[in-house]
Structure 1
Amino acid sequence: MSRLDSMLRRLTAQRDGLNWAVAQISDMEGDVLDMGLGNGRTYDHLREILPDRRIWVMDRVLQCHPSSTPPAEDFLQGEAEPMLEKLGNGGPKIALAHYDFGRGIKENDVAEAAHLSPLIARVMRPGGLLISGQPLVGFEQIKGPDTIAPDRYLFYRA
């Protein structure tokens, strides 16, 4: 599979997974957390499909497209570990989290996701959903939408 086809498959899975998750949490209170802002495409989509929810965003640097810049009060800038600790110290409980951290080196990205998993667990509402491109630990893995190939995108319940 070409890198272009792989990217299209990943982005389609991400969109389909987020849309599916929104329906799953419709009766659940809580905020949303987008881990890994990047250029802001996912954040922009979350804003569109969840207009009445507060969406927290974290990343090392703010370098997204200007139209996808989160409000300053919702952007947690810095390394993931201290930002998750900050959010977990009496902060909001998250109903839906999207994990998209990574530098493109699979073994390093998997290790980082495992390391951050306990901190992510502290910010989640019981029963909340996590969607991730990397395996997370300590959560119940669940089946996502049928349109997504197994292990293309991962789905968890807190």
Structure 2
Amino acid sequence: MSRLNSIMRRLAAQRDGLEWGHALVADVAGDYVDMGLGNGRTYDHLREIAPDRRIWVIDRILQCHPSCVPPEQDFLQGEAEEMLKKLAASGAKIVLAHYDFGFGEKEKDVAEAARLSPMIADCMAPGGVLISGQPLAGFEQVRGPETVAPDRYCFYRS
């Protein structure tokens, strides 16, 4: 598969996964979190499909498109471990989480996702939905949307 086709498949999986997860928790009170702001595309999509939700954002640096800058009070800037602990301590009830942290090296990314999983769990409301490009540990893996190949993206319930 070409790199172009691979990125198109990944982005479609993100979109479909976010919309699937949002539908599952549409009637559940709580906040969302986007872990890994990057350019801001995923955050922007979350704002579009869930305009009434508070969407927390975690990233090391703010370097997104100017139209995708989160409100200052919702942006947790710093290393993931510290920011996840800060989010858990805030008392936020996270019902939908998108995990997109990464170094661009598969082995390192998988290890980081496993290491951060317990801290993510501390932020999640029971029955919350997690959508992730990397395997997470300690959550119930579920089948995501039918449009997403099982090996393309990971879906969990807390």
TM-score by length of 2: 0.99
What is the Cα-based RMSD across aligned positions, in Å? 0.6
1:90 and 1:69, CA in 2 relative to 1: closer, same or farther beyond 3 A? closer
SS at match of 1:151: coil
**Aligned residue number for residue 116 of structure 2:** 116
SS at match of 2:95: strand
Matches within 5 A, 1:98-113: 98-113=98-113
Deviation of 1:103 after TM superposition, in Å, equals: 1.2
Deviation of 1:27 after TM superposition, in Å, equals: 1.4
Counterparts of 1:88 and 1:128 in 2: how far apart (Å)? 14
Counterparts of 1:67 and 1:91 in 2: how far apart (Å)? 28
Q: After superposition, what is the alpha-carbon deviation per residue over 1:112-141, rounded to whole angstroms, capped at 9, x for unaligned? A: 000000000000000000000000000000
**Which amino acid in structure 2 is aligned with residue 22 of structure 1?**
H
Counterparts of 2:84 and 2:115 in 1: how far apart (Å)? 12
Q: Tell me, which stretches of 5 or more residues in structure 2 are unaligned?
A: none
Counterparts of 2:89 and 2:20 in 1: how far apart (Å)? 29
**Aligned residue number for residue 149 of structure 1:** 149
**Aligned residue number for residue 91 of structure 1:** 91
**Which amino acid in structure 1 is aligned with residue 2 of structure 2?**
S
**Aligned residue number for residue 40 of structure 2:** 40
Q: Tell me, which stretches of 5 or more residues in structure 1 are unaligned?
A: none
Matches within 5 A, 1:7-46: 7-46=7-46
% of aligned pairs identical?
72
Deviation of 1:91 after TM superposition, in Å, equals: 2.1
Counterparts of 1:146 and 1:24 in 2: how far apart (Å)? 14
**Aligned residue number for residue 5 of structure 1:** 5
Corresponding residue pairs, total? 158
SS at match of 1:57: strand
Counterparts of 1:32 and 1:4 in 2: how far apart (Å)? 29
TM-score by length of 1: 0.99
Deviation of 1:90 after TM superposition, in Å, equals: 4.1
